[in-house]
């Protein structure tokens, strides 16, 4: 099982997965105009992005599926699954949405050399946007989470 720690408590500090900032990577040329590998990272954030936002806005849903309430653990589980990659354009903000089963949307923002996780929330039906690819977390996630059933 991976270990999750933080670099600090400021909004631009990071959650670490086994000591590294990267939770997953979208390979080069998977997305239009992205010619280098793009890491996906979870920042501490504030009321508008990151783990603080996810806990504040979607905490009840989070605790239902992640009883210990650890945002980083739940994000890692979701990033270990697969889904559609969609380009979004809303409020002059361009990002990506990964519709990850079961019933979740993960919104990313391009920060330049990495994607920052803006939010993660329950989404029963399709998310609007242009589908530009497939996200395959079981290949791309750092130390993919695999649920073992007995």
DSSP 99-128: EETTTEEEEEEE-SSSEEEEEEEE--SPPP
Contact of 120 with 78, CB cutoff 8 Å: yes
Domain that holds residue 129: 4-140
Question: Which tokens is 131 given?
Answer: 């589908």
Tell me what pLDDT residue 73 has: 95
pLDDT for 84: 86
Q: Considering the entire predicted model, what is its pTM?
A: 0.90
User: What whole-number distance in Å separates Cα of residue 138 and Cα of residue 140?
Assistant: 6
Is 74 among the domain residues?
yes
User: What is the pLDDT at residue 50?
Assistant: 98
Task: Identify the pLDDT of residue 51.
Answer: 98
Under DSSP, the state recorded for 27 is P
- The residues facing 117 across adjacent strands are 108
Q: Which helix (DSSP H) or strand (DSSP E) does residue 130 occupy?
A: strand 130-136
Looking at the structure of the chain, the number of domains it has is 1
Give domain status of residue 145, yes or no: no
Residue 149 forms part of a structural domain: no
What pLDDT sits at residue 86?
Answer: 86
**Residue ranges of the chain with per-residue pLDDT less than 70:** 90-96, 99, 101-102, 146-150
Residue 135's beta-bridge partner residues?
Answer: 83
pLDDT number for residue 101:
63
State the pLDDT at residue 52.
Answer: 98
């Amino acid at each position: 099982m991976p270990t999750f720690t933080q670099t600090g408590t400021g909004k631009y500090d990071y959650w670490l997965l086994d000591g590294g900032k990267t939770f997953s990577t979208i390979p080069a040329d998977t997305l239009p105009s992205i010619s280098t590998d793009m890491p996906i990272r979870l920042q501490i954030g504030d009321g508008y992005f990151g783990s603080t936002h996810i806990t504040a806005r979607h905490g009840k849903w989070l605790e239902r599926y992640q009883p210990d309430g650890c945002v980083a653990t739940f994000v890692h589980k979701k990033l270990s699954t697969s889904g559609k990659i969609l380009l979004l354009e809303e409020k002059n903000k361009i990002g990506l949405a990964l519709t990850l089963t079961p019933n979740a949307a993960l919104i990313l923002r391009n920060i330049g050399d990495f994607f920052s996780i803006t939010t993660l929330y329950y989404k029963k039906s399709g998310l609007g946007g242009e589908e530009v690819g497939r996200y395959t977390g079981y290949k791309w996630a750092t130390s993919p989470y695999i649920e073992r059933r007995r």
